[in-house]
Amino acid sequence: RGGRLAALAVGGRVLAQAAVVRCARAFRGADVVDANTARSAAYGAFAVRGTRKAFVVHLRDLVEPAALGRAGHALMVRVVLPRADGVVANSRATLESARPYLRSGVPAEVIPSASGLRTGAPARSAGPAASGSVRNVGMLARIDPWKGQMQLLEAFARVFRGRDTRLQLAGGAPFGHEQFAESLRRRADELGVGAQLDLPGHVSDVEALLSGWDVAVQASTRAEPLGQNVLQYLAAGLPVVAADEGGPAEWITDGVNGLLVPPRDVAALAAALERLDADAALRARLAASAAATPGLLDDPAVTRAHEAFYDRVLRSVSDRRRGRPSA
């Protein structure tokens, strides 16, 4: 009974927000309604009912209960996606998780989110330690157990304990994860690398942060829908080590513009770090290829891609209403 009451309460809030949206001047004058989050998609789907407005849904999480929660997943697959006139996903993995719930012929495309990437810059030689061993290893991600900071810490200690090499775990600790940050410090002391660990918190100047690293790591313990930090690493021309699943595996070709390791495998991650530490030429080659990764988009290019997609959606909606097959 408690679960039903909670579901009713959630439904009531969604419908109330949908009513507010329908009264907004921007909504009344729009040809396309774009739901930019899973939450806005829920009330957006109700807001557009009974209108002739095209409804576009942005997906940044895999369409599965683990990512959206049980209630959120139910709303997404039963209400939102069946109503969508277009879907923008942040990776092929995200898009494929949504396809079973879309109507036939609905435009769907992978377009990364605008994130301030600077593309086309000359590749760096491989960071501060271009011709020697690795001096700085880093991860840019919010401090959260599933982001893999603990796994990276364990791997780092196996390779760099007692050396003049630092580990930076940059990112804030939202959602009550301050205790996890403390557990990282305690574990670093236990592993003998406490003096080598930096936890700078949220970093505003990401470009300056990455410019001081020799190797960048993504080690999430569940599949990332995209892994925005991986795009930032690549655009910065850094040698990258990433988990071989989800969105990051779509951007990295192992041994070409980064190294892929089995997810949740500390030994494999340590082996990749050791390999990069021992081979400056490999780091330089990966860095050059990272900066040249095809498909990296700066913000103006992302804007143009969205404009073209909205035009495609409007044509599709018009064709469907006229009984024509979508192009």
Q: Dump pLDDT digits (tens) for 86-110.
A: 999 999 999 999 999 999 999 999 9
* Delimiting residues of CATH 3.40.50.2000 domain(s) in the chain: 136-291
**Full-prediction pTM beyond 0.75?**
yes
Q: Residue 123: pLDDT band by 50, 70, 90 thresholds?
A: low
Q: Residue 126: pLDDT band by 50, 70, 90 thresholds?
A: very low
Q: Dump pLDDT digits (tens) for 208-264.
A: 999 999 999 999 999 999 889 999 999 999 999 999 999 999 999 999 999 999 999
Domain 2-115+298-321 classified CATH 2.60.40?
no
Q: Residue 324: pLDDT band by 50, 70, 90 thresholds?
A: confident
Q: Dump pLDDT digits (tens) for 37-85.
A: 999 999 999 999 999 999 999 999 999 998 899 989 999 999 999 999 9
- Convert the chain into a string of H (helix), E (strand) and C (coil): CHHHHHHHHHHHHHHHHHHHHHHCHHHHCCCEEEECCHHHHHHHHHHCCCCCCEEEEEECCCCCHHHHCHHHHHHHHHHHHHHCCEEEECCHHHHHHHHHHCCCCCCEEECCCCCCCCCCCCCCCCCCCCCCCCCEEEEECCCCHHHCHHHHHHHHHHHHCCCCCEEEEECCCCCCCHHHHHHHHHHHHHHCCHHHEEEEECCCCHHHHHHCCCEEEECCCCCCCCCHHHHHHHHCCCCEEEECCCCHHHHCCECCCEEEECCCCHHHHHHHHHHHHHCHHHHHHHHHHHHCCCCCCCHHHHHHHHHHHHHHHHHHHHHHHCCCCCC
Q: Which CATH class is domain 136-291?
A: alpha beta
For position 215, what pLDDT does the model report? 98
